[in-house]
């Protein structure tokens, strides 16, 4: 009975992803956005995540399998680096919740790796990805069209945001969702689910366009280019997609932005480099960038900065060189394991896995000019697991129906 409930637990945690950005309300920072999720609901979501993690730990202990967690040690090293950085940082209590959420993501990763092959697990994940994805996308579109709520519409300059606090957070979610929806539309045997996948793809594409996120657009262009290059071997077509993304950014970006934003990130990056120079080994601690930025920013720089507006600079500044190296090790290990699994994967499984990986490539490119908390704490680790587990295929419910 306990094992049979796991597919639904996995589906539930994937379904809650659009609510994860509301966790930022627990941070000791002022974030430039509007949370539409009441604090009580946010607490309930976090409590449910903890309960699911306890259930997953018990299940993993009861049903162990050798050599099924190739990324566990690298991911634990990232977690350990975060704990050390937080302990010696400027506000040890400030990042505790988010370090803990990172730990929950590791448990989630391990659960996907271990139980994806169970009957109904892959199907439950597909439903949990697509249905909330289309709802979140349509909600964001409707909010822009109706300019509701007015406070969010005003602070976001009319950009699509939905439940994601910031347009960049929604864009990061969609970069991962859209390639996955496309793959599900191609490989699922259930006609109704294929229809949902196509609707999710269409609604998500519109929502991504309405975010007017240059990092999001370039990240999605990189995801599409990766999938084209890896699937068709047409480097020219992939390059054209990237060029189209760049043209869209140049021609349309400032339509919903203050043009001065083109220069604020330069000063933020310079300040981030100063922070890295002063606290190279262990960083300043999770979610402490804004504290140091206020003390070190240039006089003409942006008054506040929640993060470094660069994923890698943010990791370096907050986790130090030790944290950055553990992240690099994790990504190297992921790439090596993915290549190994793809060599023996069936064509539909390989296509699904590469589509998931395309989303990871996209958010990696998005990270060059933005830091998306949802990607770090809610998507990175479980999506890596989904890419690896789907490459394996095997006797999963999805694999048996493609």
pTM of the model: 0.93
CA dist 220 and 358 (Å) reads 9
The low-confidence residues of the chain, meaning pLDDT below 70, are 28-29, 66-67, 253-255, 258-263, 393-402
What is the pLDDT at residue 255?
Answer: 67
- Rounded to the nearest angstrom, the gap between the alpha carbon of residue 309 and the centroid of all alpha carbons in its chain is 15
What is the pLDDT at residue 10?
Answer: 96
What is the pLDDT at residue 261?
Answer: 63
Is 223 in contact with 178 (CB distance < 8 Å)?
Answer: yes
- Terminal-to-terminal C-alpha distance of the chain: 27
Say what angle helices 39-62 and 96-115 make with each other, to 10 degrees: 40
What is the pLDDT at residue 245?
Answer: 82
Is 373 in contact with 172 (CB distance < 8 Å)?
Answer: no
**Each residue's pLDDT tens digit, 318-331:** 999 999 999 999 99
List the structure tokens of 270: 């310079």
What is the pLDDT at residue 402?
Answer: 42
CA dist 235 and 241 (Å) reads 10
């Amino acid at each position: 009975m306990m094992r049979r409930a796991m597919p639904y637990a996995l589906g539930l945690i994937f379904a809650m992803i659009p609510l994860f950005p509301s966790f930022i309300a627990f941070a000791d920072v002022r974030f430039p956005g509007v949370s539409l999720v009441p604090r009580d609901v946010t607490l309930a979501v976090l409590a449910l995540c903890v309960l699911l993690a306890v259930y997953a730990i018990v299940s993993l202990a009861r049903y162990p399998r050798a050599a099924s967690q190739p990324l566990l040690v690298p991911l634990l090293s990232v977690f350990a680096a975060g704990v050390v950085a937080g302990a010696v940082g400027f506000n040890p209590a400030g990042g505790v919740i988010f370090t803990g959420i990172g730990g929950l993501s590791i448990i989630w990763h391990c659960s996907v790796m271990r139980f994806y092959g169970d009957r109904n697990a892959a199907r439950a994940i597909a439903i949990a990805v697509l249905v909330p994805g289309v709802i979140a996308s349509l909600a964001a579109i409707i909010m822009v069209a109706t300019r509701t709520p007015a406070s969010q519409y005003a602070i976001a300059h009319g950009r699509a945001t939905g439940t994601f606090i910031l347009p960049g957070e929604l864009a990061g979610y969609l970069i991962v969702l859209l390639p996955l929806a496309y793959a599900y539309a191609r490989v699922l045997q259930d006609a109704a689910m294929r229809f949902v996948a196509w609707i999710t793809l269409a609604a998500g594409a519109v929502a991504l366009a309405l975010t007017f996120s240059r990092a999001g657009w370039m990240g999605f262009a990189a995801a599409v280019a990766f999938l084209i290059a890896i699937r068709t071997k047409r480097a020219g077509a992939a390059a054209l997609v990237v060029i189209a993304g760049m043209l869209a950014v140049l021609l349309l970006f400032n339509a919903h932005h203050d043009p001065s934003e083109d220069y604020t990130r330069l000063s933020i990056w310079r300040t981030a480099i100063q922070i890295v120079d002063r606290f190279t080994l262990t960083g300043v601690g999770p979610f402490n960038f804004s504290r140091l930025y206020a003390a070190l920013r240039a006089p003409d720089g942006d008054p506040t900065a929640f993060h470094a507006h660069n994923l890698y600079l943010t990791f370096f500044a907050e986790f130090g060189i030790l944290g950055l190296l553990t992240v690099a090790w994790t990504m190297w290990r992921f790439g090596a394991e993915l290549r190994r699994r793809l060599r023996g994967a069936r064509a539909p499984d390989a296509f699904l896995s590469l589509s998931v990986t395309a989303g990871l490539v996209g958010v990696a490119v998005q990270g060059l000019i933005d830091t998306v908390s949802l990607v770090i704490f809610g998507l990175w680790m479980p999506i890596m697991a989904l890419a690896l587990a789907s490459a394996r295929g095997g006797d999963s419910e999805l694999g048996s129906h493609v």
